[in-house]
Amino acid sequence: MARKKYTAALIGCGRIGYSLGLDRKREQPASHNMALKDNPRIKIVAGCDTDETKLIHWHEANKKAIVYPNSATLYSRTKTDIVTIAVNENAHMREAIDAIRSKPRLIILEKPVALNLREAERIKEEADEHQVNILINHERRFAEDFIAAKKYMSKIGELQSIRAELCSSLVVYNRAEEKTGAYSLIHDGTHLVDAVLFFLEEDGKPSEVKKVPVKKERSGLLSKAENRNEEVRTEFKTINTILNNPVMSGIYRDEKGNVRQMSAHYSTEKCPDVSIVISGRSRFFGFEIVITGTEGRICIGNGFLKFYKREKSSLYTGFYSLKSDKRIKAPKKTLYFANMVKNAVEFLDGKKPLRSTLQTGINALAVLEEIKEKLK
């Protein structure tokens, strides 16, 4: 019996939507288009981009699909099971809401969810109202190497520390770019934070967010209002239940006042020492996480995965050292994009839950927003 095929539309035919799938150095598929196209259960039937040149290039590789100059026209003329949104961060909320109102069976939304929590919560309100499920492309949750690392955590004893570090040349935080998202705290930092949450979460139990009152210094006007027994409005902020209230250090600003380096430190119930370190001063790109337990260590990042286990030392009599665990082989391919689309198909089949949801995306955004507020 032939299995059902699902139709898909691609909103945004640029870098992550299409062209990264042409990069021979990257593990493929490396774009939404290639991942959808490689899955035999999915048929791409439509695509759109406001950039005519990008749309033409995409159509050359997807000749059977219909092209549209904008998503509104696409939704008015084409109904699909899946809508994949691969546009710039500043268009996420608008495109996500428009897609939700077209009522596909599933939306695949590129990370981060939105520019900020306010926009993310608007997306959630619409998704809840129209009962549309959203998968967020936080790719480490689908990658075979990160899945293997999480499984190995049970072998390294009690957690002592997690250090997650991102190095690039992109500014960490630039207040002037809050409307575009063109800073690494949100652009790539969302992957780093989501990966840390992935490692700290119990299987099947993601972190959550909650609203807490904001403590404000008592100004003269506020004190007078209290003395007159007038009602003072309490303000709230949204925090992540696992990573919250960071201690900030290592903040470096350039001559324009933009943050180029920072460290956020946390203590959690599962791990007493968690550090998220982001640099925008590096002349290289690096993404790595080191998880140290009482009996071992895991080192994982772009292009590498190493496991270490406590063994009798060959250097010191009566001591133990960490040695590479030769029994565990790192997966040859991470399949990060392929597994993401596979999860989408399994979800539509009713066989598996989504591994990366709108809520887990919001959870990561809450961590980033709290860091951002401390950098302003």
- Cα angle 301, 303, 306; round to 5: 65
Helix (H) or strand (E) holding 367: helix 358-375
Enumerate residues 6+ apart whose C-beta is below 8 A from 46.
9, 10, 65, 66, 67, 68, 74, 78, 80
Helix, strand, coil shares of the chain, percent, nearest 5, are 35, 25, 40
* Planar angle of CA 200, 354, 163, nearest 5 degrees: 20
- pLDDT at residue 180, as a whole number: 95
pTM flag (> 0.85): yes
- Specify the long-range contacts of residues 302-305, CB closer than 8 Å, at least 24 apart: 304/330, 305/145, 305/148, 305/149, 305/330, 305/331
pLDDT at position 206: 82
User: So what's the pLDDT on residue 185?
Assistant: 97
Q: What is the pLDDT along the chain (376 residues), one digit of tens a residue?
A: 568 999 999 999 999 999 999 999 999 999 999 999 999 999 999 999 999 999 999 999 999 999 999 999 999 999 999 999 999 999 999 999 999 999 999 999 999 999 999 999 999 999 999 999 999 999 999 999 999 999 999 999 999 999 999 999 999 999 999 999 999 999 999 999 999 999 999 877 888 999 999 876 555 555 555 555 555 567 888 999 999 999 999 999 999 999 999 999 999 999 999 999 999 999 999 999 999 999 999 999 999 999 999 999 999 999 999 999 999 989 999 999 999 999 999 999 999 999 999 999 999 999 999 999 999 9
